[in-house]
Amino acid sequence: MQCLKKENGNYIGGRWEGKNVWEVNKEIAKILKEEGTVMHIDYIQHDYPHCHRCGTKLMYRAHPSWFMDIDGQKAEMLEQNKNINWFPEHFKNKRFKNTVETAPDWNLSRDRFWATPIPVWRGKKEDGTVVEKVIGSYTELKELSGQELPDYHLPYVDRIEFKLDGVKMKRIEKVMDCWFESGSMPFAQFHYPFENKEKFEENFPGDFISEYVGQVRAWFYYLHAISVGIFGKEAFKNVIVTGTIAGADGKKMSKSLGNYTDPNILLEQYSSDALRYLLMSSPLLNGDDFALIDKDVSDIQRKLGTLWNSYGFFVMYANIDKFTVNSEQFTVGKNILDKWIISKLHKLIKTVDENMLVYNVPNAVNPIVDFIDELSNWYIRRSRKRFWKSENDGDKNEAYQTLYYVLVELSKVMAPFTPFIAEEIWRNLVGSSQPLPSPPLSTGEGVAHSSVHLEDFPIADESLIDEKVNADMQSVREIVNIGLQLRAKSAIKVRQPLGELRITNNELSDELLEIIKEEVNVKHITHNMEHGTDENNIVWDGENKVGLNTEITPELKLEGQAREIVRYIQEMRKEAGYEVDNRINVWYKGMPEVFDNKELRGIIAKETLANQVLLQADSVSSDLEKEFLIDGEKFIIAIKK
């Protein structure tokens, strides 16, 4: 039985002539079974493609098409792939290589309306010989036909007919696969070869492209196929393959499922910097899928807020002290904290630079938030007293110069990843006509026309990277962490001084040991000691590297109470709205064992910027007076600016 189907799916011959292929399926099956042509008929349920516009089932049929000879250039495509830097690297010799190796010849033609017409005109001689002409430009078409059009798409271009060697030529009824247009981007964007020949050749192959993993067998492939076919070389030098972003539930983002927050709301609630940083530091940039969860954006925003607080701390104290930037080349201060943070900064610059050179964005981005944490929660916290009550003006100035230098250089490092916060900090510290504007920032008021994005990316100074300082400070932080854990285990507050911390087999400088003493709040550190089993009041960590003497003598208890009083007064200063540099007077009533102790009274005065700490008289006029309780004993504190 022979019959044909028209393009609309109707039979044009045989016993089912005029019937639609979908409507007559069951009838055909029934008749064939009755005639004994088939032994068994069964129905299988499965997904089947439908038109995405009208929902009609699609019909597969054989029809003439135009192909690009991929098989003839496959070996060259594989060879040129060796010149491309893929990140992640495994896509190069696995998925992309496999795509090329298994690729069939490319079906270039489509039977559609909205697309680029294939520029082939065809005619037939009287003897039946087919004549075809491929048109290479609008100019050539005008020369052959004498016609020029404002629009060369359908249906206008099909009106152009001409004679070639006596043969009437008419365009074939085919349009181009849209991927051919996408794959032609490198030269088509310059209108090459008709214009910008030198500009195209200077910019080809492209330095860098990026798309999600689905484009490995689509855009990346078609770019490569066309480029190798025409120019004999790869279309791009470097490529980043990203994974697919999923909704909060791990499923494909869908409006109907509502499994993601509107990006405009997300940016408004947090920031574009936070979203941008999260995506660049996520598995997405390693070619893996990633579920976008609002909390993750919030966490990054909080970490970037830590940097903003560090900037705010610097500006506040720099304005108080009228700090001016040293116009000469920056030099590292003598303080071990300055040496450490500068070493960490230049190690960060080196890490970011090395990873960006190989297009490893996650490894370049991830260390930044760690550095922000170290800057805020270790360098600034440990250096705080150097800024607001340093007894050494030289040391205070070095602290200012160091923090200024770090913030400016860090803004340059972060500019490609978090462009807005980097720009705000840099313009306010470097590009502002005012020396140091206080946060929150204005919207450009008094800001000069300069930008961190016009600055060169910083270059790491290897001489400033001191791995011994880095390692020693890491040891200090580990010891401090263990010491604080031992305090928590023993239920002893950090403000309560203790007598001794023991460190076994550790070589640290006196300057670093002093940091440990202050952080763990102990009077003495005994190091290079072996762990003893019969020691009273000594609590050791699990690995017996750090031991804490938990005995609280009467003297230590009084000092602990004095530290609590300092905390209460600091809270009162904040409640009263005092500036950080305001000097105050303090009056007290109660807690005689603490306040009658000259040394402890001196600690309270120094820590709270008090000119004097006096016993309260009935006639005292204060800004704020409050009652407190320590270890069951009530006392009154009054303060006045």
Query: In the chain, what are the domain boundaries?
Result: 1-62, 279-464, 467-552, 556-640
CA distances from 352 to 308, 368, 386, 410 (A): 21, 9, 30, 11
Average pLDDT of every residue of the chain: 89
Question: What does the pLDDT read at residue 444?
Answer: 39
Question: What does the pLDDT read at residue 4?
Answer: 47
Question: What does the pLDDT read at residue 257?
Answer: 83
> What are the tokens at 298?
């919030």
Q: By mean pLDDT, which of 88-92, 475-479, 537-541 is the weakest? A: 537-541
Q: Flag whether pLDDT at 341 surpasses 60.
A: yes
Band (pLDDT 50/70/90 cuts) for residue 390 is low
Q: By mean pLDDT, which of 47-56, 353-362, 418-427, 524-533 is the weakest? A: 524-533
Please name the residue that has the structure tokens 């001689």: 125
Band (pLDDT 50/70/90 cuts) for residue 101 is very high
Cα(490)–Cα(561) distance, integer angstroms: 18
Closest CA to 432 of 449, 456, 417, 415: 449
Q: Flag whether pLDDT at 434 surpasses 60.
A: no
Band (pLDDT 50/70/90 cuts) for residue 25 is confident
Q: By mean pLDDT, which of 97-101, 153-157, 389-393, 512-516 is the weakest? A: 389-393
Question: What does the pLDDT read at residue 338?
Answer: 96
DSSP designation for 447: B
- Containing 39, the helix (H) or strand (E) segment is none
Question: What does the pLDDT read at residue 530?
Answer: 62
Cα 190 to the center of its chain, rounded Å: 32
Question: What does the pLDDT read at residue 517?
Answer: 94
Q: Where are the alpha helices (DSSP H) in 10-159?
A: 25-34, 74-81, 90-91, 97-101, 138-145
Stretch 15-36: mean pLDDT, rounded? 87
Question: What does the pLDDT read at residue 432?
Answer: 57
Highest mean pLDDT among 51-55, 419-423, 542-546: 419-423
* Cβ contact 628:639 at 8 Å: no
Strands (E), 567-617: 584-589, 610-615
DSSP designation for 161: -
SS3 50: strand
Question: What does the pLDDT read at residue 321?
Answer: 86
Q: Give one word for 565, left, alpha or beta, with left for phi > 0 and alpha for psi -120 to 50.
A: alpha
Question: What does the pLDDT read at residue 41?
Answer: 87
Question: What does the pLDDT read at residue 448?
Answer: 47
What residues have CB less than 8 Å from 47, skipping those under 6 apart?
Answer: none
- Give the number of other Cβ atoms within 10 Å of residue 348's Cβ: 24
User: What are phi and psi for residue 121, nearest 5 degrees?
Assistant: -105, 140
- Give the number of other Cβ atoms within 10 Å of residue 368's Cβ: 23
Stretch 284-292: mean pLDDT, rounded? 92
User: Under CATH, which architecture does the 279-464 domain have?
Assistant: Orthogonal Bundle (1.10)
What residues have CB less than 8 Å from 384, skipping those under 6 apart?
Answer: none
Cα(23)–Cα(304) distance, integer angstroms: 63
Stretch 434-441: mean pLDDT, rounded? 46
Q: Which residue has the higher pLDDT, 2 or 478?
A: 478
Cα 625 to the center of its chain, rounded Å: 49
Q: Flag whether pLDDT at 353 surpasses 70.
A: yes
- Give the number of other Cβ atoms within 10 Å of residue 419's Cβ: 16
pTM of the predicted model as reported, rounded to 2 decimal places: 0.82
Cα(406)–Cα(341) distance, integer angstroms: 8
Cα(484)–Cα(166) distance, integer angstroms: 97
Stretch 103-124: mean pLDDT, rounded? 94
Q: Flag whether pLDDT at 180 surpasses 80.
A: yes
For the segment 6-15, what is each residue's pLDDT rounded down to a tens digit?
A: 567 888 888 8
Q: Flag whether pLDDT at 288 surpasses 90.
A: yes
CA distances from 417 to 197, 343, 347, 365, 426 (A): 34, 22, 18, 7, 14
| Signed CA dihedral, 25, 26, 30, 31: sign only | negative
Q: Which residue has the higher pLDDT, 248 or 177?
A: 177
First to last CA, the chain: 107
Cα(414)–Cα(274) distance, integer angstroms: 12
Stretch 581-594: mean pLDDT, rounded? 89
CA distances from 448 to 316, 404, 433, 608 (A): 21, 19, 6, 39
What residues have CB less than 8 Å from 196, skipping those under 6 apart?
Answer: 190
Q: Give one word for 631, left, alpha or beta, with left for phi > 0 and alpha for psi -120 to 50.
A: left
Burial class (CB in 10 A: 0-12, 13-18, 19+), 292: buried
Question: What does the pLDDT read at residue 229?
Answer: 96
Stretch 226-238: mean pLDDT, rounded? 96
Stretch 181-185: mean pLDDT, rounded? 95
Q: Which residue has the higher pLDDT, 470 or 25?
A: 470
Please name the residue that has the structure tokens 């869908």: 254
Torsion of CA 614, 616, 617, 621, to 10 degrees: 100
Question: What does the pLDDT read at residue 255?
Answer: 82
Question: What does the pLDDT read at residue 243?
Answer: 93
Band (pLDDT 50/70/90 cuts) for residue 331 is confident
Q: Give, to the nearest 10 degrees, the angle between helix 419-429 and helix 294-320.
A: 0
Strand 85-87 relative to strand 236-242, pairing: parallel
Band (pLDDT 50/70/90 cuts) for residue 528 is low
* Cβ contact 274:282 at 8 Å: no
Residues in the chain: 641
628 strand-pairing partners: 635
Burial class (CB in 10 A: 0-12, 13-18, 19+), 151: exposed
SS3 content of the chain, % helix, strand, coil (to 5): 45, 15, 40
Question: What does the pLDDT read at residue 541?
Answer: 87
> What are the tokens at 292?
């976008």
- Omega before 49 within 30 of 0, i.e. cis: no
Long-range contacts of 379-383 (CB under 8 A, 24+ apart): 379/337, 379/340, 379/341, 379/403, 379/406, 380/310, 380/313, 382/337, 382/515, 382/519, 383/335, 383/337
Question: What does the pLDDT read at residue 9?
Answer: 82
Cα(103)–Cα(87) distance, integer angstroms: 22
* Cβ contact 135:141 at 8 Å: yes
